[in-house]
Structure 1
Amino acid sequence: MKSNLPTRKIFEGVATRPQMFRLFGRHNQRPERWQTDAGPLYNGEWFEIDATLYGDMLEILPPLWMRGPVFALREFLAGSITSIFFALRIDGKLRYFHGYCDVADPNSVETMRTAIFERESHLIRGMSREERLEHIWSSTADAYRGYAGERFPPAMQGQRTVMLWSGVNGTILKLLNDLTDDEIAAKLPVHMRHLPTIAA
């Protein structure tokens, strides 16, 4: 379940308030939720928000710290993982982002800031395969996503799954990472289906 990427974009577009809070709980269905640490799953995830949400989150509690337009929430998700909010000027436009960083690592916030800036500075809008899969996971309703259980071989158990309409075979359960390009396109919103693929 843990990503090998140090930072990863998990939602395409600017998240609304309901979407933001849903993204905060995107791993709530994980197996053994109460026995396992969620920190490694969330650490490094980021997505875009708007100026209003950025301001609202700044006003909820006094931040743990604030360095210019970057601040950390005082409440921790798990261990030393907490929410970091960024206001970044990218291509002349001020944009806002949320990410989870391990503040015990002195380089984690700067690593995420750099990753966001580099990813969002691309002149051609596109998505990597990994970003497409993360967007599908983030935007799929809880009833249609989950984790592989005993029906799957032991090596696959615990991996993320999504429900698909296969036509001939009706609704099927499939590992998220095993989706074909056509299945990915079918699960994405229409305006994202034909975005060019970029290197992760």
Structure 2
Amino acid sequence: MNLSPIRKIYQGVADRRQMFRMFDRHAQRPNRWEGDDSALYRGEWFELGQVGHDYMFEVLPPLWMRGDMFAMREFLTGSITSIFFNLSIDGRVRYFHGYCDLSDRASPAQMRDAIVERESRPVRSMTREERIEHIWSSTHDDYRGYADWHFPQAERGKHIVMMCAPWQGRDFKLLDQLSDAEISAKLPVHLRFLPDVIAA
């Protein structure tokens, strides 16, 4: 799956349970402790509530604080760590989490600017990639996974999700190969008919 450098991975405000799930939404990946997994996390962001934001602020003393953001002291992998933002968007303070690569000093500011730009759009909209990311983030671990030996060699390791239909039984399909109709069926009702970002 070709991911943009900075990407929204969940639509809406994540509650406490969902927030902790998304902190490591790639936990089931094969060969988890082999190699550098920074690319999986770098650039991911989502919105959370003030309670979640404040809780994370109090867990450990921040690595650093800069006005509207702070960095977690513990690193997820390599130089990737959590950055928490409290941003005023359209006159309302909102809270966000993102994974930034601190080897690039501009990374937190770039993340902040991308979030503000994305969330300042006058019309609610989603790209195809955002729809797919939301499906992956919100699907229970038992119904998602990674392509294994059942798939061609070139597809192994890619995200897969379970498809259920009376005429086909249960089967897994590559996430990035879902049709528009399949994506719509897997999204919650309130997200199914949002316009595409290009049309916004």
Q: TM-score, normalising length from structure 1?
A: 0.96
What does 1:79-98 correspond to in 2, within 5 Å? Answer: 79-98=78-97
Letter in 2 for 1:65: W
Deviations 1:45-96 (A, max 9, x none): 0000111111111111110000012000000001110000001100111000
2:155 match: secondary structure? coil
Question: What CA RMSD, in Å, does the superposition of the two structures yield over aligned residues?
Answer: 1.3
What amino acid does structure 2 have at the position aligned with 1:16?
Answer: D
Q: Structure 2 regions of 5+ residues with no counterpart?
A: none
Structure 1 stretches of 4+ with a deviation exceeding 6 A read: none
Paired residue for 1:28? 27
Q: Is residue 70–residue 86 contact of structure 1 (8 Å, CA) maintained in 2?
A: yes
Contact 1:161 1:173 survives alignment (8 Å): yes
> What residue in structure 1 maps to residue 162 of structure 2?
163
2:7 maps to which residue?
A: 8
What residue in structure 2 maps to residue 112 of structure 1?
111
1:52 aligned residue: 51
Which residue matches 1:184?
Answer: 183
CA distance in 2, matches of 1:199, 1:86: 27
Partner deviation per Cα, 1:104-136 (whole Å, 9 max, x = no partner): 101111110111000000000011100000000
Instruction: Find the residue that maps to 2:98 and give its secondary structure.
Output: strand
Aligned length: 199
State the partner residue of 1:125. 124
SS in 2 for 1:33: coil
Check if 1:19 corresponds to 2:10.
Answer: no
For 1:111 and 1:25, locate their aligned partners in 2 and report how far apart those are by CA, in whole Å: 22
Q: Does residue 134 of the first structure (1) align with residue 133 of the second (2)?
A: yes
The alpha carbon displacement at 1:165 in A equals 1.1
User: Is contact 1:166–1:172 with CA below 8 Å preserved after alignment?
Assistant: no
Equivalent residue, structure 1, for 2:60: 61
Cα distance in 1 for partners of 2:62, 2:30 equals 32
- The CA deviation at 1:161 is 0.3
Counterpart residue type for residue 71 of structure 1: F
Cα deviation, residue 187, structure 1 = 0.4
Alignment match, 1:40: 39
Instruction: Tell whether the 8 Å contact from 1:163 to 1:171 is kept in structure 2 after alignment.
Output: yes
Answer whether contact 1:27 1:38 (CA < 8 A) is retained.
Answer: no
Query: 1:186 corresponds to which letter in structure 2?
Result: A
TM-score (normalizing by structure 2):
0.96
